[in-house]
Chain A
Amino acid sequence: DTEVTQTPKHLVMGMTNKKSLKCEQHMGHRAMYWYKQKAKKPPELMFVYSYEKLSINESVPSRFSPECPNSSLLNLHLHALQPEDSALYLCASSPGQGNGQPQHFGDGTRLSIL
């Protein structure tokens, strides 16, 4: 079992739906990340939160909206997604941002857009 928990594990949604992905860690980490991973490709960074503040947004379309309600929780709100947004969405955390600190990943939410 990983120490970063992501829910749900699978999500199927239509292009007009609104849904949220949830990520939780209790390791006391202060940096949290969202990545998108397509099949046979490496994870691509979407957002970084450091001390509950958005630190990096990799020019992600506004139909993806991140939220960090507290130091243990990270959400990704989804609205009006496109079929090309179907992918594995990974959450990760690290003690802090930068300085080579290893990232701990959850097992992801597999998202399918109909």
Chain B
Amino acid sequence: SQKIEQNSEALNIQEGKTATLTCNYTNYSPAYLQWYRQDPGRGPVFLLLIRENEKEKRKERLKVTFDTTLKQSLFHITASQPADSATYLCALEGRYSSASKIIFGSGTRLSIRP
């Protein structure tokens, strides 16, 4: 069965450093991979989308890579700030629109300490 794992349940890093979160998957060939941020008591918020034929995407301090050979995506936040503290979810989607759905990974709770 499909399995999506995010490297650690929690990650604690110093302000100003780069946070790197990992999303690994098995038994799946996603056409799209998305990253969302979720704050306590709120719904997830979309951050970035990367397609299977793309290697890297950037948006301001965020960078996502997608390696379909390794079946892995890396999500980087550079110059991290305490306001970046949240749970980050990767989400994978297959390629057939009519029955398409996204499946979320387990999430990584990121804490940035001042």
- A residues at B contact (CB < 8 Å): 2, 4, 41-45, 48, 55-56, 90, 92, 96-100, 102-108
Contact = CB atoms under 8 A, between A and B. Distances in A.
Closest 6 A/B residue pairs (Cβ): A105-B43, A98-B100, A98-B97, A100-B32, A42-B104, A102-B46
Contact of B104 (A43, A97, A98): A43
Contacts of A4: 43
B46 A103 contact: yes
B94 to A, nearest CB: 8
B31 A100 contact: yes
A108 B89 contact: no
Interface of B: 31-32, 34, 41-46, 49, 51, 89, 93, 96-107
A48 B98 CA distance: 11
A102 B105 contact: no
A107 B43 CA distance: 4
A104 B46 contact: yes
Nearest to A108: B43
10 contacts: A41-B107, A42-B107, A43-B104, A56-B99, A96-B97, A97-B98, A99-B32, A100-B34, A102-B49, A103-B44
Contacts of B105: 42
A76 B89 CA distance: 25
B2 to A, nearest CB: 13
Nearest to B45: A105
Given A99-B97, A100-B34, A42 B106 contact: yes
A92 B103 CA distance: 14
B45 to A, nearest CB: 7
Contacts of A90: 43-44
Nearest to A106: B43
Contacts of A105: 43-45
Contacts of B42: 2, 107-108
Most chain-B CB neighbours within 10 Å: which of A44, A90, A105, A106? A105
A55 B43 contact: no
